Structure 1
């Protein structure tokens, strides 16, 4: 397995970036799993007869994780988050690829030697989303009325629910929505209230001025 990874998988990932890198990664992972499954049939008897602690399935996942995922994790993560933001900005995005990448990170965390690849991926997604929506909230507060802000925030939440449900694990999607709610509504609550007071005061002043005409 290590030979296949070093001679076939790693060279195929070299010099690739962004979506091209992720497509090659998920393609190679699918082929690798198919190979491991075939070998598993041959070694199943040995696993049972000799009560080997680690099954071939666990060994194959650990091998791919150590030689491919761990070695290039940051590059895979950055490419995936870039695609997620591309989707947020309503640019054409391969959501099937994002689903496959999310599944890949999840599967990298399966087994006795769990290194929490998916947990790290999830943390990165949440941290990036917090930065993205904090910046968006600041822009909206500066450019829109409190009513328009609330309308845009609600629309944004609904869009995010629909979007991430297509490619993120259910538990991650729920955590992501909590981040959005805090960045768009919770953290800006006091500023929104103050903005609304100013708007109401300006409206009242305008009405007084209008009645004097």
Structure 2
């Protein structure tokens, strides 16, 4: 397995949930880690660089890039974990909310890739991790817009993988129901882990999967990982 100590990483959405758990495990492994999030708390991993950023804002991504270059340098690992949910009918929902979800989940990831991956290419090595969802490719009532953004990310990830061969590895991690504040922060809808009824993963379990992929030898690429509570139907 590859040692990660001494590498540099940036984690979007690293202020809470899955992103925070990934940032914590990276830090424990000796990775210099920058956390980018719209909301930062006081209990983030010790030693991490904390940067406020709204990934849906193009200018904010530009500012994030400059701050990371100054405080960290070119990252070896880019984790795109920032995400936003919406749960409403396509015939009744609010297009402004849909646009916000698209700007965060899809455009935010694309902008992060555009900002940070060219530096990895110049270095000749790096890892990109995109946190997707089992909702990718899965139509379900009230979930059309969210699922569409995650489906699009699957295509983006595979396109990126082909474009950055052979030096950059691309991994998509698609969790099922996970016990985070995600459902509390959805723009509309009243789902909870309890109301879904499948049980839930912990953020740390998802982070374990990410670290498993990152620790593989440089010649081994884990491109897709799906994990879910055993009782989850889809």
TM-score over 0.5 (shorter chain): no
Q: Which one has a larger percent strand, Structure 1 or Structure 2?
A: 2
What TM-score comes out, normalization by structure 1 length? 0.31
What TM-score comes out, normalization by structure 2 length? 0.29
Q: Answer with 1 or 2: which has the greater Rg.
A: 1
